Amino acid sequence: MLNEFELIAHDQTSGVHAFLIDMNYRRPHLHTDLEWIYVLDGQLTLTIENQTLHMKHGELIVINSCQLHELTAIETAKLLILQLNTKEFDAFFPQINELSFAPQVLSNHNNTHFQALRFYFFKTCLAFFEEQAYVALECHGYASLALAELLQSATFERIPENKQGAHLVRQERIRRISQYIYQHYPEKIRLETLAKQEELSVNYLSHFFQQNFGVSFQNYLNMIRCEKAHYLLTHTEHSILAISEMTGFSDMRYLNKAFKMNYHLSPKDYRNQQKTKSVLFNGPQIGEQQMIHSKFESIHLLKKLFHDLKPNETPSSL
């Protein structure tokens, strides 16, 4: 099974990103952000580094930075996801990069801090979607309060001091490598070029890639290119030949081979399927199905969630 590094873009406010999504499967991936997943509807199974956890409506989980995880829903799950770039918080809370959260599902059951945690989690996401005049201050303020409640709700351990340096070096290397590939995927990229930039041997970087990204360098590069091709096939009328050139494949045959490996269909068959199907989730033939809701839809849903909160589900200090 293929894994994937997910590069998170922070366009609206530095270090904070939120989205509301309907999905049935997200293949194994990792990223350098601290990710919060809240189940609004449906049931979700997470595989985190070979450990399986089950979630249902009203439950939340936090995924560590650079922690490989896979999401599978029974039918379709509606998820509210918040991603925090921990580098944005270490100026006033440097311990954040020393913490490792245990794989655990958090809920209102026997957890006195969960209601406050959920409240500030919702407030962070709503501030992100509404984009008011001081959105960065709102997002970071509510996210900090959510983090404070998380530390009182969740089980975690501190990374030993003698391992912290290596941990940060690993995270920064993953960040640099993924950003370079994400920016240059339409070009001819060689592992030797990355090894030279990182001042590593090709053999060492090859092993580092396999160990930390879960796939080889070439497979990861092909996945990034296929994701771009997937988007262009869905949202443009470009020919498949043009798309192969735009996404860095030297020959249309290589696009066909890589696309089949990732999506179990040829690009031509996938485009034809998109033209004929009338619903988003249409069987298992495509490995990954998801729909991100608009900002307007996300705001509407979050305001309804706040309206439905009971008085005792709001922090007493407010």
Residue 134 in tokens: 């001081």
Query: Alpha-carbon distance 106 to 248, whole Å?
Result: 42
User: By percentage, how much of the chain surpasses pLDDT 70?
Assistant: 90
> Does the domain spanning 4-160+296-313 belong to CATH 2.60.120.280?
yes
Calculate the alpha carbon distances from 204 to 194, 198, 199, 210, 265 in Å: 11, 11, 10, 10, 34
Residue 281 has pLDDT above 50, yes or no: no
Query: Alpha-carbon distance 262 to 1, whole Å?
Result: 9
Query: Nearest CA to 176 among 208, 207, 203, 201?
Result: 208
Residue 287 has pLDDT above 80, yes or no: no
State phi, psi for 60 to the nearest 5 degrees: -135, 150
The tokens 């601290």 sit on which residue? 34
Query: Alpha-carbon distance 302 to 298, whole Å?
Result: 6
The tens digit of pLDDT for each residue in 249-261 reads: 988 999 999 998 8
Cβ proximity of 289 and 281 under 8 Å: yes
Query: Nearest CA to 220 among 29, 14, 10, 34?
Result: 29
Residue 185 has pLDDT above 90, yes or no: yes
* Average pLDDT rounded to a whole number, residues 39-65: 93
Going 172 to 174 to 177 to 182, the CA torsion angle's sign is negative
Query: Nearest CA to 267 among 290, 234, 221?
Result: 234
Angle at 227 between CA 223 and CA 232, to 5 degrees: 145
Query: Alpha-carbon distance 285 to 273, whole Å?
Result: 10
User: By percentage, how much of the chain surpasses pLDDT 90?
Assistant: 50
Provide the whole-model pTM.
0.76
The least confident of 6-20, 40-54, 234-248 is 6-20
Query: Alpha-carbon distance 298 to 39, whole Å?
Result: 14
The tokens 């809240």 sit on which residue? 38
Going 97 to 98 to 104 to 107, the CA torsion angle's sign is negative
State phi, psi for 77 to the nearest 5 degrees: -115, 145
pLDDT recorded at residue 197: 92
pLDDT recorded at residue 278: 39
* Average pLDDT rounded to a whole number, residues 182-194: 92
Q: State the angle between helix axes of 114-130 and 295-308 in degrees (0 to 180), rounded to the nearest 10.
A: 150
Could you list the beta-strand ranges (E) of 118-158.
156-158
* Average pLDDT rounded to a whole number, residues 11-32: 82
For 274-288, give one letter per residue: b (16+ CB within 10 A) or e.
eeeeeeebeeeebee
The tokens 């043009």 sit on which residue? 242
- Say which residue, 65 or 244, is predicted with more confidence: 244
Residue 131 has pLDDT above 80, yes or no: yes
Every domain of the chain and the residues it spans: 4-160+296-313, 216-287
Mean pLDDT of the chain: 85
> Could you tell me the pLDDT band of residue 283, with boundaries at 50, 70 and 90?
very low
Query: Alpha-carbon distance 36 to 83, whole Å?
Result: 6
> Could you tell me the pLDDT band of residue 7, with boundaries at 50, 70 and 90?
very low
> Could you tell me the pLDDT band of residue 17, with boundaries at 50, 70 and 90?
very high
pLDDT recorded at residue 90: 86
The tens digit of pLDDT for each residue in 68-121 reads: 888 999 889 999 999 998 888 988 898 888 899 999 999 988 778 999 999 999
> Does the domain spanning 216-287 belong to CATH 1.10.3720.10?
no
